[in-house]
């Protein structure tokens, strides 16, 4: 008998019991004695029976799958958040489908529609750099698909999210540079339409204001913060008539490529230009000099976001107010910025 063709009727025939009893036993129905369940399950394993999950899911209207949409899996922060999501999902009996928007809104929109069409029980999403409104999220509301945003989110009421304190992270990074003696601090920003980059900029601005350092618009450079952007940003800074002595980058990727470019140009880090990144990518601790950065609790964020989504799924029919959970960051001081002490 081929394993793929074993049905409950084969099990019933082998045990000389009704097919309905086998079905209930395999579904752990309370109407069936535990002794019978054990016998049925043992025979099912012996015969190589596999449940038709598709049919079962259609009956229960649940797929026990969660869709996760991130900009890029290659970023350490997102891979660590996914690890937290998967660990929590697995413990609760859910599988995870991971998709990348690659920071394109149209791709993100198609992924949302595809996951919803495949009846995932819920969606966790960190929005793309191009996402400027809640069109995709409105689609999820219309299809009654529970969803939670994490890290990158929208400043639009009505959506639950798990985020970090980007403002405080930006403030701590900038104040650290100021306390190291920096006075002309450049800021590599992501698109200001995204809340995380807007808040990191506001933290930068607040630190300058606290220490009576004027904000200079020419020192603020916005980009997608890719590796190539870090190099181009560094070139722009060197072309200015301002003696740059510090850089706060909104991510480690741009910070590291800028650091490497400046070193190639003979600029001493941190003696001439001190640099602070954001996100604590693994490479940031092993490059020379090691990169001072803001640590984001990615794994913890993934677990918390998954638990929040599960509460939405389990209480789907109960009205729930939107909830925002804010996690703390930590400044990791390394050699790229240490001038004093």
Rounded mean pLDDT of 204-210? 98
Specify the pTM: 0.80
Q: How many CB atoms lie within 10 A of CB 216?
A: 14
pLDDT, the chain, mean: 91
Chain-centroid distance, C-alpha 332: 21
Of 62-76, 169-183, 293-307, the poorest mean pLDDT is in 62-76
Nearest to 322 by CA among 78, 52, 189, 141: 141
pLDDT of 55 strictly over 90: no
The residue among 59 and 127 whose pLDDT is bigger is: 127
Is the fold of 63-164+298-328 the same as that of 166-296?
A: yes
Q: What is the percent of the chain with per-residue pLDDT over 90, rounded to a whole number?
A: 69
Domain 63-164+298-328 of CATH type 3.40.50.2300: yes
CA distance 113 to 264: 46
pLDDT of 318 strictly over 80: no
Of 46-50, 112-116, 137-141, 281-285, the poorest mean pLDDT is in 46-50
Residue 91: band (very low, low, confident or very high) from pLDDT cuts 50, 70, 90 = very high
Architecture of domain 3-51: Orthogonal Bundle (1.10)
Residue 193: band (very low, low, confident or very high) from pLDDT cuts 50, 70, 90 = confident
Tokens of 2: 């081929």
User: Are 325 and 303 spatial neighbours (Cβ–Cβ below 8 Å)?
Assistant: no
The residue among 321 and 209 whose pLDDT is bigger is: 209
Rg (alpha carbons) of the chain, rounded to whole number:
26
CATH number of 166-296: 3.40.50.2300
Q: Domain segments of the chain: what residues?
A: 3-51, 63-164+298-328, 166-296
Residue 52: band (very low, low, confident or very high) from pLDDT cuts 50, 70, 90 = low
Cis peptide before 50 (omega within 30 of 0): no
Reported as a single tens digit per residue, the pLDDT across 263-279 is 999 999 999 999 999 99
The residue among 276 and 10 whose pLDDT is bigger is: 276
Reported as a single tens digit per residue, the pLDDT across 227-245 is 999 999 999 999 998 999 9
Of 70-79, 266-275, 316-325, the poorest mean pLDDT is in 316-325
Q: What is the pLDDT of residue 3?
A: 44
Torsion over CA: 229, 111, 317, 63 (sign): negative
pLDDT of 197 strictly over 80: yes
pLDDT of 218 strictly over 80: yes
CA distance 201 to 167: 7
pLDDT of 61 strictly over 80: no
Q: What is the pLDDT of residue 167?
A: 98
Residue 27: band (very low, low, confident or very high) from pLDDT cuts 50, 70, 90 = confident
Q: What is the pLDDT of residue 57?
A: 54
Q: What is the pLDDT of residue 328?
A: 96
DSSP string, 302-329: HHHHHHHHHHHHHTTTS-----EEEE--
Write the DSSP symbol of residue 251: S
Write the DSSP symbol of residue 281: -
The set of residues, in sequence order, having a beta carbon less than 8 Å from that of 53 and lying 6+ positions away, is none
Q: How many CB atoms lie within 10 A of CB 136?
A: 23
Residue 148: strand pairing partners: 124
For 88: left if phi > 0, alpha if psi spans -120 to 50, otherwise beta; the answer is alpha
Reported as a single tens digit per residue, the pLDDT across 93-109 is 999 999 999 999 999 99
User: Are 278 and 294 spatial neighbours (Cβ–Cβ below 8 Å)?
Assistant: yes
């Amino acid at each position: 008998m081929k394993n793929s063709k074993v049905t409950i009727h084969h099990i019933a025939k082998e045990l000389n019991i009704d097919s309905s009893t086998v079905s209930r036993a395999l579904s752990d129905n309370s109407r069936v004695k535990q002794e019978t369940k054990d016998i049925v399950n043992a025979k099912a394993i012996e015969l190589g029976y596999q449940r038709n999950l598709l049919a079962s899911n259609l009956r229960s209207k649940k797929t026990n799958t969660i869709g996760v949409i991130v900009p890029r899996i290659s970023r350490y922060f997102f891979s660590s958040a996914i690890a937290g999501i998967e660990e929590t999902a697995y413990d609760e009996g859910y599988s995870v489908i991971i998709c990348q928007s690659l920071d394109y809104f149209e791709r993100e929109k198609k992924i949302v529609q595809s996951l919803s069409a495949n009846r995932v029980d819920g969606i966790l999403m960190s929005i793309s750099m191009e996402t400027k409104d809640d069109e995709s999220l409105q689609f999820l509301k219309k299809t009654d698909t529970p969803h939670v945003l994490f890290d990158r989110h929208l400043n639009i009421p009505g959506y639950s999210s798990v985020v970090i304190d980007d403002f405080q992270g930006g403030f701590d990074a900038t104040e650290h540079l100021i306390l190291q003696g920096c006075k002309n601090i450049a800021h590599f920003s992501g698109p200001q339409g995204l809340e995380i980059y807007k808040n990191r900029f506001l933290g930068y601005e607040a630190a300058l204001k606290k220490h009576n350092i004027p904000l200079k618009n020419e020192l603020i450079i916005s980009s997608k913060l890719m590796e190539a952007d870090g190099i181009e940003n560094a070139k722009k800074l060197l072309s200015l008539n301002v003696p740059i002595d510090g850089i706060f980058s909104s991510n480690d990727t741009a910070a590291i490529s800028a650091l490497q470019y400046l070193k190639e140009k003979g600029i001493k880090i941190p003696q001439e230009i001190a640099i602070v990144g954001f996100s604590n990518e693994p490479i940031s601790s092993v490059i020379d000099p090691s990169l001072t950065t803001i640590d984001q609790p990615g794994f913890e964020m993934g677990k918390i976001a998954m638990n929040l989504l599960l509460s939405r799924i389990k209480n789907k029919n109960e009205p729930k107010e939107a909830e925002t959970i804010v996690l703390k960051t930590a400044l990791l001081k390394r050699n790229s910025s240490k001038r004093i002490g």
